[in-house]
Amino acid sequence: MSDNPTDGTQSAEFFAKLFGITRSNFYQLVERGILPRVERNKFPVVGCIKNYIQFLKDKNSGKASTPISEQKLRLTIAQAERIELQNQISSAKLIPIELLTTILAEISGQVAGVLDTIPSKIKRKHTHIDNQVIDSVRHQIIKAMNQISNIDEITDRVIEDYILENGKFEED
């Protein structure tokens, strides 16, 4: 991800390094509304710096929320998010990750089954093709099937990357 200083924005990684915090902490400040976001991984330079300075001033002067009120706020937000998530699942706008993984595993099994038959079908229909070519095709198909068999890990990685990048799942 490259920073784009020409449009007055920078990436989360840039600000995390600048502020001396982790990217996770940076995204937490964004989620709490302390730091502004323009769009996915684009944050306004001036707004972020001003707001972070104000955040540090408030924190040091005691104006920042008390731990108890902050905990109550986090609990209220978490409860509202949980209810919203349940509503989205009930209305079929979202599905649980376990169901998504099951669906993808079923699809990948079917695709692997089709891929597995390709070399023999090619050999039957095109008898003039050398066995070396068929073996080469079979080898590439096996590589593809190995990738398909890792669908669980790939799904987990993509979800983790998305959450790290965006802070949480958001409705489009």
What is the pTM (predicted TM-score) of this model?
Answer: 0.43
Q: Tell me how far apart the 2 most distant CA atoms of the chain are, in Å.
A: 82
What share of the chain has pLDDT > 90, as a percent?
35
Residue 59 shares a structural domain with residue 123 = no
Total domain count for the chain?
A: 2
49, two tokens: 């710096």
Give the tens place of pLDDT for each residue, 16-56.
Answer: 999 999 999 999 999 999 999 998 889 999 999 999 988 88
44 Cβ neighbours under 8 A, 6+ residues apart:
8, 9, 36, 38
* pLDDT band for position 170 (cuts 50, 70, 90): low
**Residue 172, domain member (yes or no):** no
Of the three residues 87, 106, 135, the one that is the final residue of a domain is 87
pLDDT at 165 over 70: yes
The whole domain housing 116 covers 97-166
Residue 104 has which token pair? 């993808």
For 100-111, the pLDDT digits (tens) are 888 888 898 899
Residue 45 lies in a domain: yes
d(CA 116, CA 110): 10
Reported confidence tier of residue 65, pLDDT bands at 50, 70, 90: low
For 167: left if phi > 0, alpha if psi spans -120 to 50, otherwise beta; the answer is left
pLDDT value, residue 75: 76
Q: Which residues, 6+ apart, have CB-to-CB distance to 154 below 8 Å?
A: 147
> CB of 86 within 8 A of CB of 108?
no
Q: Are residues 63 and 135 in the same domain?
A: no
Residue with tokens 């200083």, as numbered in its chain: 5
Q: Does the pLDDT value for residue 166 go beyond 80?
A: no
In a shared domain, residues 61 and 130: no
DSSP 7: G
Rounded (10°) CA dihedral 8, 25, 16, 171: -40
Banded pLDDT at 2 (limits 50, 70, 90): very low
Can you point out the beta strands (E) in 31-70?
Answer: 43-44
Return the bridge partners of 44, or none.
9
pLDDT at position 155 is 81
| 68 and 113, same domain (yes or no) | no
pLDDT digits (tens, 9 = 90+) for 113-137: 999 999 999 999 999 999 999 999 9
Beta-bridge partner residues of 43 = 10
